[in-house]
Amino acid sequence: MLTPQLRAGRKTSTVEIPPRRGDLFAHGTGVILMEPADDLTQQATILLREYGPVHSGTPAGDFNVIDLDDASGWAVTGHHPDILTYLDPSELENHDYLAVGILGRAKRDRDGNELTVLHHLEDKRSI
């Protein structure tokens, strides 16, 4: 869930990630499953395969940059609400939103094409 806030005249948000529901991919893209199925990794991979790759001139090329309140860096979102990419300030010299967004979009594109899961967040729902 994104919680918008104002800080020094800028809109910021806190990204609250539900625990143990989704996957983190190799280049920093997280797929947070709001309606998890039985196989979380398969579901996350299917979503990222479809919504991760960038296609210029389409919604797949769009992005938004969110300042993180509880961590340094940014979350870059795209055209699917369950997919976001984390960027640490050390990853780039220019911290303006355009540079951050372009790098985040490129990382999402790589994750959407390579589909390498780095960390699996196990869903502990009772059956």
At 14-67, the pLDDT tens digits run 555 445 588 999 999 999 888 888 888 999 999 999 999 999 889 999 999 999
Q: Does residue 127 have a pLDDT over 90?
A: no
Q: Which residues of 60-83 are buried (b: 16+ CB within 10 A; e: fewer)?
A: beebbbbbeeeeebbbbbbebebb
Q: Which of 29-38, 56-65, 70-79, 118-127 has the lowest mean pLDDT?
A: 118-127
Looking at the domain assignment, is residue 113 inside a domain? Answer: yes
> Percent of the chain beyond pLDDT 90?
64
Looking at the domain assignment, is residue 126 inside a domain? Answer: no
Looking at the domain assignment, is residue 115 inside a domain? Answer: yes
Please state the domain count of the chain.
Answer: 1
Looking at the domain assignment, is residue 37 inside a domain? Answer: yes
Looking at the domain assignment, is residue 85 inside a domain? Answer: yes
Looking at the domain assignment, is residue 8 inside a domain? Answer: yes
Structure-block tokens of residue 7: 């800080």
Looking at the domain assignment, is residue 127 inside a domain? Answer: no
Please give the residue range of the domain that contains residue 82.
Answer: 2-120
Looking at the domain assignment, is residue 125 inside a domain? Answer: no
